[in-house]
Copies of this chain bind each other. A is one copy, B any other.
Amino acid sequence: MSTPTSTQITLASRPTGWPTHENFAVATIELPELVAGEVRVANEFLSVDPYMRGRMNDVKSYVPPFAIGAPLEGGAVGRVVESASDDLAVGDVVLHQRGWRDVAQGDASEFRRVDEIPGVPLSAYLGVLGLTGLTAYVGLTVIAPVQEGDTVFISGAAGAVGSAAGQIARLKGASRVVGSAGSAEKVDLLTSRYGFDAALNYKDAPVREQLPALVPDGVDVYFDNVGGDHLEAALDVMSTNGRVALCGAISQYNSTERAAGPDNMSNVVTRSLRLQGFTLAAYFHHMPEFVAEMGPWLANGDVVFDETVVDARDDVSGTIDAFLGLLRGENTGKMVVRTA
User: Which residues of A come within 8 Å of B, CB atoms?
Assistant: 227, 231-232, 241, 246-249, 252, 258-279, 282
Chain B residues whose C-beta falls within 8 Å of the C-beta of A270 in the assembled complex:
277, 279
If A268-B275, A272-B277, A279-B270 touch, whether A232 touches B249 (CB-CB below 8 Å) is: no
Give the distance in Å from the alpha carbon of A277 to the alpha carbon of B248 in the complex. Answer: 21
Chain B residues whose C-beta falls within 8 Å of the C-beta of A267 in the assembled complex:
277
Identical chains bound together, number:
2
Pick from B227, B241, B247: contact of A265, CB under 8 Å: B227
What's the least CB distance linking A128 to chain B, in Å?
22
If A260-B263, A261-B260, A263-B261 touch, whether A279 touches B269 (CB-CB below 8 Å) is: yes
On whether the beta carbons of B276 and A273 are closer than 8 Å, the reply is yes
Pick from B249, B278, B282: contact of A266, CB under 8 Å: B249
Of chain B, the residue at the smallest CB distance from A224 is B269
Chain B residues whose C-beta falls within 8 Å of the C-beta of A268 in the assembled complex:
246, 275-277
10 contacts between A and B (CB under 8 A): A227-B266, A231-B265, A241-B282, A249-B269, A252-B266, A261-B261, A269-B277, A269-B278, A274-B277, A275-B275
Of chain B, the residue at the smallest CB distance from A261 is B261
The interface centre, meaning the residue of A232, A258, A261 with most chain B CB atoms within 10 A of its CB, is: A261
What's the least CB distance linking A261 to chain B, in Å?
3
Give the distance in Å from the alpha carbon of A300 to the alpha carbon of B107 in the complex. Answer: 60
Of chain B, the residue at the smallest CB distance from A232 is B261
What 10 new A-B contacts, CB under 8 Å, besides A241-B282, A249-B265, A268-B276? A231-B265, A232-B261, A259-B263, A260-B261, A262-B265, A268-B275, A269-B277, A270-B277, A274-B275, A275-B275
Give the distance in Å from the alpha carbon of A248 to the alpha carbon of B259 in the complex. Answer: 23
On whether the beta carbons of A277 and B273 are closer than 8 Å, the reply is yes
Pick from B249, B262, B272, B278: contact of A261, CB under 8 Å: B262
